[in-house]
Structure 1
Amino acid sequence: MESERVEDVARLPRKRMGAGALFVDERERVLLVEPTYKDYWEVPGGVVELNESPLEAVVREIDEELGLTVSMGRLLVVDWVPPGLYPSDGVMFLYDGGQLGSDQTAAIALQAEELRSWAWCDETQASERLPAVLARRVAAARSVRRGGGVGYLEDGFAVV
């Protein structure tokens, strides 16, 4: 019986998962990164690896990509993303990275193979640099960060 359950579970659909951090500065601008392998900007973070939680993934990615060891804050939004840019759907988590001080900002050391640059961006700059779905996700996360709770999104749009 046990092997049947394992086989059944092995046939279940899999989803892509990603986890990112919303870092802000004293002016409430968000930290965005410019990947070397994409033609658009992103929030810091990345893919959730096999047997890794989204929270573990974002902490690992921030260490690898920015050279920062951080204690991640609360979950701000969960965003289900339909197939489109990628052939399968996915679930994206965006956590509150908090406000980075000048010491932390000065300590940012980009992983050159993956990141070309980083910048503090206000809402307008973020919407110009990010793909539409990610711009919506960041805007929702900023709102939730100010107001509390957790947002649930589908394709970057608030559902509930």
Structure 2
Amino acid sequence: MESDRSEYIAGLPRKRMGAGAVFVDSEDRVLLVEPTYKDHWELPGGVVEAGESPLAAVVREVGEELGLVVSMGRLLVVDWVPPGRYPSDGVMFLYDGGVLDPEQSAAIVLQEAELRGWAWCDADEAVERLPALLARRVVAARAARHSGRTDYLENGFATLR
């Protein structure tokens, strides 16, 4: 009986998960990072490891990538992403990193093996630097941040209102 249950559990689908932080400055520009291993910009964050919560993952990733020790704010966006670029579907979480003041921004220390730079970007600049899916997700996260809600997306598009 126990082996049947173990086999059943082992056969359940697995989902990729990622978590990112939406930091803004006093001008409401979003912080983007430029990975060394991709041809486009991203939000700070990354893969949720086995046994790790999305919230713990984003705090860990921000510490590793930017050298910042922060407490994340509320969940802004959950985005289900279908298979495409990756062979399996995934669930992405964006959290409110809050407003970084000039002193906090000056304290950013990039993980040079992974990131070549960072920049504050207004809405148009962010859309220009990000791939379409991530641009839609960031636009939705910024709107959720301003409205005080949490949004559910599918492939970057709002499905519920």
Give TM-score, length-normalised by structure 1: 0.98
SS of 2:119 mapped into structure 1: strand
Percent identity, please: 73
Q: Which one-letter code corresponds to 2:75 in the other structure?
A: L
**Is 2:15 the counterpart of 1:15?**
yes
**Is 2:159 the counterpart of 1:159?**
yes
> Hey, what's the Cα distance between the residues in 2 that align with 1:14 and 1:127?
30
Partner of 1:69: 69
Q: Which one-letter code corresponds to 1:117 in the other structure?
A: G
> Hey, what's the Cα distance between the residues in 2 that align with 1:4 and 1:148?
45
SS of 1:69 mapped into structure 2: coil
Query: Where does 1:2-81 land on structure 2 (aligned, <5 Å)?
Result: 2-81=2-81
Q: Which one-letter code corresponds to 2:155 in the other structure?
A: D
Partner of 1:126: 126
Q: CA RMSD in A?
A: 0.6
SS of 1:43 mapped into structure 2: coil
SS of 1:83 mapped into structure 2: coil
Structure 1: 5+ residue stretches without partners: none
SS of 1:40 mapped into structure 2: coil
Q: Which runs of 4+ in 1 moved over 3 A?
A: none
> Hey, what's the Cα distance between the residues in 2 that align with 1:109 and 1:25?
17
Tell me by how many angstroms 1:144 deviates: 0.5
Q: Which one-letter code corresponds to 1:127 in the other structure?
A: V
Q: Which one-letter code corresponds to 2:29 in the other structure?
A: R
Tell me by how many angstroms 1:2 deviates: 2.6
1:104-148 per-residue CA deviation (whole Å, 9 max, x = no partner) reads 100000000000100000000000000000000000000000001
Tell me by how many angstroms 1:3 deviates: 2.7
Query: Where does 1:108-123 land on structure 2 (aligned, <5 Å)?
Result: 108-123=108-123
Q: Which one-letter code corresponds to 1:151 in the other structure?
A: D
> Hey, what's the Cα distance between the residues in 2 that align with 1:151 and 1:136?
12
1:56-96 per-residue CA deviation (whole Å, 9 max, x = no partner) reads 00000000000000000000000001111112111000000
Q: How many residues get paired?
A: 160
> Hey, what's the Cα distance between the residues in 2 that align with 1:2 and 1:75?
37
Structure 2: 5+ residue stretches without partners: none
